[in-house]
Structure 1
Amino acid sequence: MSTRPHAKHLRTGRYSESGQIYMLSAVTQHREPVFADWQVGRLVVHQFRQAQIEGLADSLAWVVMPDHFHWLLELKQSTLPALMLATKSRSARAINARLGRSGRFWQKGFHDRAIRREEDLQAVARYIIANPLRAGIVRRVHDYPLWDAIWV
């Protein structure tokens, strides 16, 4: 049995719709906590901003945890696989260069969840940015350097 039995099924039924809001997550290879160094985490944040500059997606909220990220966005001129390929490959190159290493940085695949229109987006954003609190990393979300939301 695979150590990640669900990984090959992450693409099953995946549909990308422009204007749809999604919550996306990706995990570092071997869950390595490289983003415990917040300056390394800023390299991922730069790719979230780059996606917006390129018109691929509008970021609504995000948090970069020590070994993964969650990104709430409205998809624009891209598909989910293309957006995540660009984000993960560009950030991997930048991070590997900064750390003086090479090779795979992210686990294969990503998780996505389409957000229904009736869901409270601010509640979803609060859930995302409260990850450092739930993980016990900080006592107040404002003490954590790797998050943002358009409502703040």
Structure 2
Amino acid sequence: MPDLPHANRLRGGRYSQSGQIYLLTAVTHHRDPVFANWRVGRLMVDQFRQAQTEECAESLAWVVMPDHFHWLVELKNSTLPALMLATKSCSARAVNASLKRSGPLWQRGFHDRAIRREDDLQAVARYIVANPLRAGLVRRVHDYPLWDSKWL
């Protein structure tokens, strides 16, 4: 996802609904594989847990890939922009401090897809956690350290 000047207009009509399930994706700045180091990836996982602790969203499944994440959530006491702003800004501060670096961690914006009730949530979760397999990072899902799912 390149940083396009018009990209923010693409999501001008974004709608957030409490109780709705969304698949969220964010990509690192210049697709920098900062999360290839699993210890740095755990800092991202901490932000997913923080969102759940603060009752902003319930995490249903997630995977942190070297240069992006996919996060299946049920939105609670937040909006999509507020949830992603908090998640991306807090993770950027934590990662930058850990790596003793500065500057942007994330590309601007994020992708979201509302999951219709008739969609098979377990199939979506399996698709998410199988990302490392499809990317050729591991031979078995359980060999990859940065994923979780409510169902698996």
The alignment's TM-score, normalised by the length of structure 2, stands at 0.95
Aligned to 2:44: 44
Give the Cα–Cα distance (whole angstroms) in 2 for the partners of residues 96 and 12 of structure 1.
29
Aligned to 2:119: 119
Aligned to 2:70: 70
* 1:111 counterpart letter in structure 2: H
Aligned-residue sequence identity (percent) comes to: 77
Q: CA shift at 1:11, angstroms? A: 1.6
**Structure 1 residues 61-87: Cα deviation after superposition (integer angstroms, max 9, x where no partner):** 000000000000000000000000000
Any unmatched runs of 5+ in structure 1?
A: none
Aligned to 1:88: 88
Any unmatched runs of 5+ in structure 2?
A: none
> Using a 3 Å threshold, how does the CA distance of structure 1 residues 3 and 86 change in structure 2: closer, same or farther?
closer
Aligned to 1:147: 147
Q: Is the 8 A contact 1:10 1:109 kept in 2?
A: no
**Structure 1 residues 15-62: Cα deviation after superposition (integer angstroms, max 9, x where no partner):** 000000000000000000011100000000000000000000000000
User: Could you say what the CA RMSD is over the residues aligned between the two structures, in angstroms?
Assistant: 1.3
Give the Cα–Cα distance (whole angstroms) in 2 for the partners of residues 148 and 85 of structure 1.
22
* 2:126 counterpart letter in structure 1: R
Give the Cα–Cα distance (whole angstroms) in 1 for the partners of residues 122 and 106 of structure 2.
28
Give the Cα–Cα distance (whole angstroms) in 1 for the partners of residues 5 and 93 of structure 2.
28
Alignment of 1:2-13 (within 5 A): 4=4, 7-13=7-13
Give the Cα–Cα distance (whole angstroms) in 2 for the partners of residues 10 and 35 of structure 1.
27
Provide the secondary structure at the position in 2 that maps to 1:105: coil
> Using a 3 Å threshold, how does the CA distance of structure 1 residues 28 and 119 change in structure 2: closer, same or farther?
same
* 1:50 counterpart letter in structure 2: Q
Give the Cα–Cα distance (whole angstroms) in 1 for the partners of residues 144 and 6 of structure 2.
31
The alignment's TM-score, normalised by the length of structure 1, stands at 0.95
Moved over 2 A (4+): 2-10
Give the Cα–Cα distance (whole angstroms) in 1 for the partners of residues 135 and 71 of structure 2.
17
